[in-house]
Chain A
Amino acid sequence: MFSLFYGLWKYLFSKTEFHVLILGIDKAGKTTLLEKLKSLYSNLEGLPPDRIVPTVGLNIGRIEASDAKLVFWDLGGQIGLRTIWEKYYEEAHAIVYVIDAACPSSFEHSKSALEKVLRHEDLRGAPLLILANKQDLPGSVSVEELARYLDLKELDERLYMFEAVSAYDGMGIKLAIEWLVEVMERSKRTELLRIRTGAAGHA
């Protein structure tokens, strides 16, 4: 009986932990974003941008934002390492896709990598936040221009948003994360993941 109430109590009051994948091609600024998130939302100082080296593995950031717990998985973007991305899809609640908006020559590459991500069955229904990063740099394109360039066809039933940010100085990040938490809380995918982990927990 107690365990029944405890289960109910836990169901009602415990915060869901959301898993968010940070993806994008190499040099987009994924780890810089992660470190900025740590410094904006937790008491960790986060690494300064000049100390960040290319990721060849997994970086993790845990924060609390808008009364929710978020775990960010930042995976390396080099081509050889992208095969591991999909191993993390199944458990992800949402995707943050980072693009270097100051480097138009990389857009084509970014677009094809993103299309591949969106086609993957394991990410079905996962909300998508596309960040036009590096707004602190001169020559960075606007969100509208980037969206026009990407011209994504497969977004129809997916919750998505474009946001202009600078992982370097923090511009736009809080707004983007607010949106992310809000959509994850109401997405069908979150419900599905909850049922699945719940079922696994009681098995």
Chain B
Amino acid sequence: MGILFTRMLSSLFGNREARILVLGLDNAGKTTILYRLQMGEVVSTIPTIGFNVETVQYNNIKLQVWDLGGQTSIRPYWRCYFPNTQAIIYVVDSSDTDRLVTAKDEFHAILEEEELKGAVVLVYANKQDLPGALDDAAITEALELHKIKNRQWAIFKTSALKGEGLFEGLDWLSNTLKSGS
């Protein structure tokens, strides 16, 4: 399945360099998702500028992951990773209700970035396997997804642990990138 998706994506982008950012607060489940997708070897790097970016490269597609929130001093360096970004996958721990407000603020802050204006947004309401996890409609409310009016978005209930929902979301993503708007 992982192989299938990567084939789908690489045929989609042709020879263009493409980037998909996988973002979210720490402990949202981003790295687990990367491993689940089995797109290749996950390379963890801690650049000297001081934040940890995980990268999976498959042909011309780069998936890059880092934590939002925390230290504000390193934020300007995030921009190095913005050009050529076609999509943002935003991962939320649906059971961590205490930090949903932070998750929302960080999310909308990153969407403001000029270079990410054209990127479509896929939200994973992750950790659905945990008791007390909010469903997709509740996460939609909490993240105020309705404020997004100029780009396409979708939300999927996922459990990275069980591998549920991930590919449904990616299916949407590849369809959306393909059909344009």
Contact = CB atoms under 8 A, between A and B. Distances in A.
B137 A53 contact: no
A57 B175 contact: no
Contacts of B123: 57
Given A38-B179, A80-B135, A60 B151 contact: yes
Contacts of B135: 80
B181 A59 contact: yes
A57 B154 contact: yes
Interface string B161-181: 000000010011001101111
A56 B181 contact: no
Among A38, A56, A80, A88, the one with the most B-chain Cβ atoms within 10 Å of its Cβ is A56
A18 interface: no
Interface string A1-44: 00000000000000000000000000000000001001000001
A56 B136 CA distance: 9
Nearest to B148: A58
Contact of B181 (A61, A88, A91): A61
A51 B179 CA distance: 10
What size tier do the contact residues of chain A reach?
Answer: 20 to 34
Nearest to A51: B175
Interface residues of B, number: 27
Nearest to B181: A60
A105 interface: no
A56 B156 contact: yes
Contact of B140 (A52, A59, A84, A91): A84
B145 interface: yes
Nearest to A58: B153
A67 to B, nearest CB: 21
Interface string B129-147: 0000001110011000111
Contacts of B176: 59
B181 A62 contact: yes
A141 B168 CA distance: 33
A57 B152 contact: yes
Given A38-B180, A62-B181, A84-B145, A55 B137 contact: no
A172 B150 CA distance: 28
Given A35-B179, A62-B181, A53 B172 contact: yes
27 contacts: A38-B179, A38-B180, A44-B179, A44-B181, A47-B179, A52-B175, A55-B154, A56-B136, A56-B154, A56-B156, A57-B140, A57-B153, A57-B154, A58-B145, A58-B154, A59-B152, A59-B181, A60-B151, A60-B152, A61-B181, A62-B181, A80-B136, A80-B137, A83-B137, A84-B146, A87-B147, A88-B149
8 shortest interchain CB distances as A-B pairs: A57-B154, A87-B146, A80-B137, A47-B179, A60-B181, A57-B153, A44-B180, A84-B146
Interface of B: 123, 135-137, 140-141, 145-156, 168, 171-172, 175-176, 178-181
Interface of A: 35, 38, 44-47, 51-53, 55-62, 73, 80-81, 83-84, 87-88, 91
